[in-house]
Structure 1
């Protein structure tokens, strides 16, 4: 009985273990295997790529070799290598351009031409805008410059004939500097009125002196006598300030204000604005003054 028990028990040395299945790979091994597969697939070239490479290689290979039977036959018929009328022929065959899109023949050339034209127009537009801006800035500074020169000329006219002008009607004064007097008298009149209102506000007993009333009445009387718009002055003010001789005026046919002022000073007072002095007479002015315009000096 003991023998049967011993036979029923398996010997642990000969014990068979059940199969646990394949081992699961780690993440690193999976990643490495995947990269290797991608590398192998990248080595497999696409058929179109292979055909293109063969075509390029074939075009680069010359068939005009001594071992070629066709070449031997052509030489027997008198063929010689090289370009027509040249000692040195082409070193490579004419390249071929394969069309892969569905556009018509010449479409790419038209698109390229239109693109070049658009780029050229945009470049011209930017240059024009830049030049226009620079021109505007230049004209702005020129205008300020000539306005200052015109004011200085009118101030000189007042210094040279101010006493004489006070005894004359306003519209009898030359129009080239009449506007200067109008602006000055207008400013004086407004100042006088403000002073009168201020003085009356401060004290009723204090009023404007007789001289002030006399000046105010004279100004008002002069204004009443010359009632109505001064068309001659308005026409003069509508002219451009720019000096036409300097090339900055847009309307060179019109007589410019600064030109007329310079000429008036020379003709009436033998005075040159650019020289800054009055000459003895017209002959002295013509002999010693370089000219009427700034660039002459």
Structure 2
């Protein structure tokens, strides 16, 4: 066998081994390549250069070795304690029956940095302060999130209440107009109790050279369904303040109950105030649905 074949650390062989898959040898040549690769990896681990220790690491290693050694019997301190009856393994001082004492020296905490005394305590305090500040910020964000949820829920309740008020007002106006017509009223007791409609005016043929006035320049005219003149319709909707909607509903509902003995939520026209008081749950929507306190 040639020297080149025996030199399994040569570059040519190692380059060939790096491309070969690791596994069960398929031939004698493959087996030899696997052996060469294994030896190469072992040699890399053996001759792998170690990272040089820093000065602080060397000092710590020497200090730990010195502290691990027991007190020498030749030291003056040990000689003085021996004269007072001390023996290796004993504790110092008189021991009571219920007292447990240490027999090994207390470990020494060496200060290996250049930070001032108490700096570690200050670092711990600052770290705890940072953690507390983060926790406080998280609590504030959670409280703000809950406040936004409450505010959103409140706005939704207000919007739903406004929609219901508008619906009740429109129903009351429709019923009020119908009941007033039954008793022969020409106009409502309050202008807006009946709905008014805008009159659409058609332009008549004008002479040549006469310019027609624009629609915006005309004086708008409103009338009730029976043709009598009426003011502009207030057109109650959800954009109006809740207090205004509640006041309007209370006003027209009171007129329907007192003047016609009619309850908009019962959908019934009672015979008398006594009949209404006996059969109608109350003068609010909440009274009819069991949530009067909410209203």
With the length of structure 1 as denominator, give the TM-score of the two structures.
0.46
With the length of structure 2 as denominator, give the TM-score of the two structures.
0.47
Larger helix percent: 1
